[in-house]
Structure 1
Amino acid sequence: MPADPPVPSATDEDDPGGRTARLVVAMVVVIALVPLSYLLDTPHNFFDLKIYMSAMEWWADGHPLYDYVQADELQGELYFTYPPFAALLLRPFTGLKIGYTIAIFTILSLAALVATTWWLVKPLTVRHRLPWWFAAGLAIPLVLAVESTRETLTFGQINMLLVTLILADLLFAVPRGSRWSGVGIGLATALKLYPGIFIVYLLAARKWRAALVASATAAGATLLAAAIAPGDSWRFWTHELWLTDRVGRPDYTGNQSLFGLLSRFTTPGRPNQLLWALLVAIIAGYGLWRAARAMRAGDHLSGLTLTGLVGALVSPITWTHHVYWFIPALVVLVDAALRRPEPTSGVTGRRRRIGLLAFALLLATGIVYGVVSFYDWGVEFDRTDTASEFLLRNVYVLFALLLLVLLPIRAESTEPSTGTNTPRHEPSVR
C-alpha cells in the first residue's frame, strides 16, 4: 500500500483566526502597560508650558521677554529660552485660560504622534505583510510609553510638532525632490534651533537646494520676528543664545548630551572645553558621514535618525524629551532584523538578526524605563563616581553612541515617500 501523504504543518496562513488572536493578545498587553508607565511617572503638570504662558503674559504687559525668570528647586532660575519666532507663535495663546491652552497643545501633540508613528511603521506593514491595524495598534502605545514622549506630553513641550515638520521634510519632500524640500526643517530651526543640525545633514548629503531653502526659511522666519520684536530679537541673538546656564544645570541627569556626561564627572566645575569641542567634532563628523551614506543608499529613515542622534549628543543641553530619535532607530533595527538574510550568509546572517532583535529589545526597555522618570537624583551637585552610576545616568548618551556605529543602513530601502510595494529581492543591510 502506498504510504499516507504527509500531513502539512499548520501555518499562520492555514489558521488566520489563530494568527489574529495572537496579534490581538500582543496589542492588548502593550496597550495595558501604557497607563502604568504614566501612573508610575512623576507628574510634571505641564510645567514647561506654564512657564511659556507666564512669559507670554509678562511680555504682553510690556516687559522685556528675556527678563522673565521663574525659580525652580531642582535647577535654580529658569527663563524663557526659545527664539523670538517661537514667542510670536505662542503669544496668541496669552488670552486663553491655561486649561484651554493645555488641551490644544496636548491634542496637537497626540495628533502629531499618531501621524509620525504611522509614517514610520507603514513601510514595515508593506514589506513584511503585517496587518495595518496590528502595526499601528502596537506601535502607537509603545511610542506613548517611551520616556521622551511622556516627558513631552506631561511637560507641555512642542517637540512632537517639530518632529512632524522634520519627518515630513526628510521622508516625503526631500526624497521626492519637492519644491518645498527644506521648508519644514527651516521652520523647525526657527522655532527651536536644534533642528538646524538637519540643515548640516542636507549639506553633507549634497542636497544643495533643500539646504538653501531650509536656511532661507529659517532666516526669513527669524527676520520676521526681528521686524516685529527688534529689541528682544537683538538681545536673544547677541546675548541670551550663548548663556547655556539659562536652560538649567548641565550636570543634571536629565541632560543626556555629551556635555552632560562630561559635566557629571567635573561638577561643580565645568568640563574641559577643548576636550568637549574635539569630541563633538569627531562625533559630528562620523555621524553625519554615516547619515549622508544612508541617504545616498536610499535609506532616508536611517539618515535622519543618525542626524537626530548627532544633534542630541553635540548640543550642550539635551533634555530627555528632546531625544525622540530612538523611536525611528527602533523601527530601523526591527525592520533590518525581520528581513531575510542572504542565502549565502548562513549562520552569520541568523546571528545578525538575533543580535539586532536583542539590541532593539534592550533599547526599547531603556527608553521606556528612562533615566529620570523613576530615579530621584536629588538637587545637589553630584559627581558620577561609580560604574553603575555612570551607566544609569548616561543611558541615552551611551545608546546614541552605539547607534552611530551599529544602526544598519538598509540599501534599496522602501520608504514612505516611494509608495512602492515590497521589493522583488530582499534589500541588503549594511
Structure 2
Amino acid sequence: MAIVAGSVVVAVLALWIQNAIVPYSKPFWGLFDNQLDLDVYRAGAQTVLDGDKLYDAKLLGQMDYTYTPFSIFGFIPFAWMSMTVARVVWIGGILVALYFTIMISFRSLGRSPTLALRAVAVALVTVMMLLEPVRTTIWYGQINVFLMAIVLADLLRPDGARLRGVATGLTAGIKLTPMLFAVYLLVIRNTRAAVGVVAGFVGSVLLGFAILPSTSWDYWTSKLRDPDRVGTPQTPGNQSIRGLLANLGHTNEPNGLLWILLVLVGFTLGIGAAVVAHRAGQELLALSLVGMTSCAISPMAWGHHWVWFVPLAVVALNWISDAGRSASSRIVVGVMVVGGFLAAFSWRTYLGYATWQFNQTRDDAYLIGLFFKHGSVGWLDWFVWEPYVWVFVVTCVVVLIAGARLRAPAKPAEVQAE
C-alpha cells in the first residue's frame, strides 16, 4: 500500500505543477482548452462529407489538412459530435492511451499488472503530462499518443503473433513516419512482420482510393511532396534535423545536401542503436529508438511528435528500479532521466502583451517548450533550439556504447543452473 499511497502523492503533485505552469482555467492556454488540431480533423471530415476537395480547402479558414485520405475515416465520428463532446472524448482517449502505453511497456519488461503497478502507471500518466510533447498533444488535440499505443501494442507481441505488423502499417496509412518500423524489422530479419507493416499500409492506401479516389490521387501525386504544408522549417517547434539546420542557420531553406547527409547519419545512428537494443533483448527500447528516429529524420517534427519519450522513460525507470543492475549504471541512467526530463519539460515562456498567435491577436501568450527559451541562454543556445534531437543523439550513443550490457541480469536460479 505504500507504493499506492506514494503514487497518489506523486500524481497530486504533478497535477499541481501542471496548474502552476498554466492554470487549467486560463482561457485558450489552459491544458484542456484550444484543441485546434482536433477541430481541424473534424473540419476535414466534414469537408469530405460535404463532397468538397479536402486538400484544397482552408479548414477553419486558415489550416491545411496534412494527413492521408485514409485518416479521414477515423475522424468522421468526431464530425458528427459537437466540439464540446468531441473534446471530452478525445482528451479522455489520450489519457487512456497513455495509461495503456505505460502498462504494456511495463508488462513487456516482465512486470506483473498488480494494483501497485497500476497505481504507478496512473501517477506516471500525470508526470508524463508535464513533458512538452505530451502536454501539447493534449492541448492541440493531436493524434500522436494513439498511433504510438497502436504500434507498441502491435510490435511488442511475440514474433510469431498472427498479423503482427499490420496495425503498424495502418498507422503509417494515417501518418507516414511509422513506415520506418518496416525498415527496422527488415534489418533485424523479421521479414514476416515487415511484410505485415507493408501490407497494412498498402491496404490503407487502396481503401482510400476505393472510397475517395480523386482525393487520394491528389494527395499521393501532389500534396505529399510538399513538406512545407505542415509548417516552415525555421520554427522553434520543429524538432527535427531539418529544423536544427533551419533554426541554427536562421533560414527557411537549409542546405539540402547537408540535410540529406545528416538524415543518413541520424538514420544509421537510430536504427543501429535499435538493433543493438533488440539483440540485447530490450525490444521496448528498440521500438522507442525507432520512433524517435522517425521524428529526427522527418522533414518536419513538431515537439508533440516526440511522445516516444514516454516508453523510453518506462525503460529507464525499470532499469533504475532493478536491483540486479550495477549501482553505477543505475546512477548513469538516473542522471539521463533527469536530464531528459528537464530537456522535454513544459517550460513556460509568458508574453504579457498582445501578440499574433494562431492567426489571431491575443492579449497574452503562454508558449510551452524549452525551444522557446532560445536567445536567452548564451552558449547553450545550440542545445535549447533543438533539445529533442540532442536527447535522441545522446540516447543512441549511450545504447551503442552499452551494447551487450543492456541485457537483463540473470536471476540467481539461472546463474546456478549455468
Shorter-chain TM range is 0.7 to 0.9
What is the match of residue 120 of structure 2? 135
The equivalent position to 1:54 in structure 2, one of 43, 46, 66, is 43
In 2, distance between residues paired with 1:269 and 1:361?
33
Structure 1 contact 38–150 (Cα < 8 Å) conserved: no
The one-letter code matched in structure 1 to 2:46 is E
1:222-261 to 2 correspondences below 5 Å = 222-261=205-244
In 1, distance between residues paired with 2:242 and 2:154?
29
Residue 95 (str. 1) matches residue 80 (str. 2): yes
What is the match of residue 268 of structure 2? 285
Q: 1:226, CA displacement in angstroms?
A: 0.6
Q: 1:290, CA displacement in angstroms?
A: 1.9
Q: Equivalent residue of 1:307, what SS? A: helix
The one-letter code matched in structure 2 to 1:405 is V
- Equivalenced residue count is 387
1:353-368 to 2 correspondences below 5 Å = 353-368=330-345
What is the match of residue 13 of structure 1? none
What is the match of residue 399 of structure 1? 391
Q: 1:37, CA displacement in angstroms?
A: 4.1
Q: 1:309, CA displacement in angstroms?
A: 1.2
In 1, distance between residues paired with 2:380 and 2:60?
32
What is the match of residue 39 of structure 1? 23
Q: 1:357, CA displacement in angstroms?
A: 0.7
The equivalent position to 1:297 in structure 2, one of 262, 280, 300, is 280
**Cα offsets for 1:265-319 (capped at 9, x unmatched):** 3334411111110111111012112212222322111110111111111001011
In 2, distance between residues paired with 1:197 and 1:118?
24
User: Are residues 265 and 178 of structure 1, via their aligned partners in 2, closer, same or farther at CA, if it must alter by over 3 Å?
Assistant: same
Taking every aligned residue pair, what percent have the same amino acid on both sides? 31
In 1, distance between residues paired with 2:293 and 2:275?
12
The equivalent position to 2:316 in structure 1, one of 329, 333, 337, is 333
The one-letter code matched in structure 1 to 2:380 is S
Q: 1:46, CA displacement in angstroms?
A: 0.5
Structure 1 contact 183–217 (Cα < 8 Å) conserved: yes
User: Are residues 294 and 425 of structure 1, via their aligned partners in 2, closer, same or farther at CA, if it must alter by over 3 Å?
Assistant: farther
In 2, distance between residues paired with 1:339 and 1:375?
40
Residue 151 (str. 1) matches residue 157 (str. 2): no
The one-letter code matched in structure 2 to 1:160 is V
More off after superposition, 100-109 vs 45-54:
100-109
Greater radius of gyration (CA): 1
Q: 1:233, CA displacement in angstroms?
A: 0.6
Q: Equivalent residue of 2:345, what SS? A: helix
Q: 1:341, CA displacement in angstroms?
A: 5.9
Residue 67 (str. 1) matches residue 81 (str. 2): no
Residue 213 (str. 1) matches residue 188 (str. 2): no
Structure 2 contact 277–286 (Cα < 8 Å) conserved: yes
More off after superposition, 154-163 vs 389-398:
389-398
In 2, distance between residues paired with 1:134 and 1:125?
17
User: Are residues 130 and 95 of structure 1, via their aligned partners in 2, closer, same or farther at CA, if it must alter by over 3 Å?
Assistant: closer
Q: Could you say what the CA RMSD is over the residues aligned between the two structures, in angstroms? A: 3.1
The equivalent position to 1:111 in structure 2, one of 93, 96, 118, is 96
Structure 1 contact 287–307 (Cα < 8 Å) conserved: yes
More off after superposition, 117-126 vs 50-59:
117-126
The equivalent position to 2:349 in structure 1, one of 374, 377, 382, is 374
Residue 351 (str. 1) matches residue 336 (str. 2): no
Structure 2 contact 233–253 (Cα < 8 Å) conserved: no
Q: 1:24, CA displacement in angstroms?
A: 5.3
The equivalent position to 1:182 in structure 2, one of 145, 160, 165, is 165
In 1, distance between residues paired with 2:204 and 2:34?
31
In 2, distance between residues paired with 1:101 and 1:190?
23
Structure 1 contact 204–289 (Cα < 8 Å) conserved: no
Q: Equivalent residue of 2:171, what SS? A: helix
Q: 1:335, CA displacement in angstroms?
A: 2.5
What is the match of residue 379 of structure 2? 387
User: Are residues 235 and 332 of structure 1, via their aligned partners in 2, closer, same or farther at CA, if it must alter by over 3 Å?
Assistant: same
The equivalent position to 2:183 in structure 1, one of 192, 197, 200, is 200
Structure 2 contact 14–130 (Cα < 8 Å) conserved: no
In 2, distance between residues paired with 1:158 and 1:235?
23
Q: Equivalent residue of 2:236, what SS? A: coil
In 1, distance between residues paired with 2:172 and 2:104?
21
Q: Equivalent residue of 1:374, what SS? A: strand
Q: 1:161, CA displacement in angstroms?
A: 1.3
What is the match of residue 68 of structure 2? 83
User: Are residues 252 and 193 of structure 1, via their aligned partners in 2, closer, same or farther at CA, if it must alter by over 3 Å?
Assistant: same
Q: 1:423, CA displacement in angstroms?
A: 4.1
User: Are residues 273 and 375 of structure 1, via their aligned partners in 2, closer, same or farther at CA, if it must alter by over 3 Å?
Assistant: farther
Q: 1:181, CA displacement in angstroms?
A: 0.6
User: Are residues 124 and 193 of structure 1, via their aligned partners in 2, closer, same or farther at CA, if it must alter by over 3 Å?
Assistant: closer
Structure 1 contact 78–247 (Cα < 8 Å) conserved: no
Q: 1:225, CA displacement in angstroms?
A: 0.6
In 1, distance between residues paired with 2:335 and 2:272?
26
Q: 1:131, CA displacement in angstroms?
A: 3.2
Q: Equivalent residue of 1:203, what SS? A: helix
In 2, distance between residues paired with 1:24 and 1:99?
29
The one-letter code matched in structure 2 to 1:86 is S
User: Are residues 134 and 52 of structure 1, via their aligned partners in 2, closer, same or farther at CA, if it must alter by over 3 Å?
Assistant: closer
Structure 1 contact 78–246 (Cα < 8 Å) conserved: no
**Cα offsets for 1:220-244 (capped at 9, x unmatched):** 1111111111111111011101111
The one-letter code matched in structure 2 to 1:374 is T
**Cα offsets for 1:202-233 (capped at 9, x unmatched):** 11111100000110111011111111111111
